[in-house]
């Protein structure tokens, strides 16, 4: 992650993925980090700034 302030996340028990791609929540699996908010404006601003600095058309 470039900047953790751009994300809000929680640790949850890893859900079980079913054959139909749905999932069921669990309480006893290993923990994973689930991102439940992303500030896309900050991420895209950072991305376009970085690719613009190195890839300017001359």
Per-residue pLDDT of 4-58, as tens digits, reads 899 999 999 999 999 999 999 999 999 999 999 999 999 999 888 888 866 554 4
What is the spatial distance between Cα 45 and Cα 21, in angstroms, rounded to a whole number? 33
Asked if pLDDT for residue 2 goes beyond 90, the answer is: no
The predicted structure's pLDDT at residue 34 = 93
**pTM of the model as a whole:** 0.59
SS3 33: strand
- Contact predicate 47/10, CB 8 Å: no
């Amino acid at each position: 992650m470039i900047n953790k302030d751009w994300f809000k996340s929680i640790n949850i028990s890893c859900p079980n993925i079913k054959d139909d791609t749905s999932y069921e929540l669990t309480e006893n699996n290993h923990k994973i980090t689930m991102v439940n908010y992303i500030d896309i404006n900050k991420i895209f601003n950072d991305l376009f700034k970085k690719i613009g600095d190195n890839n300017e058309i001359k």
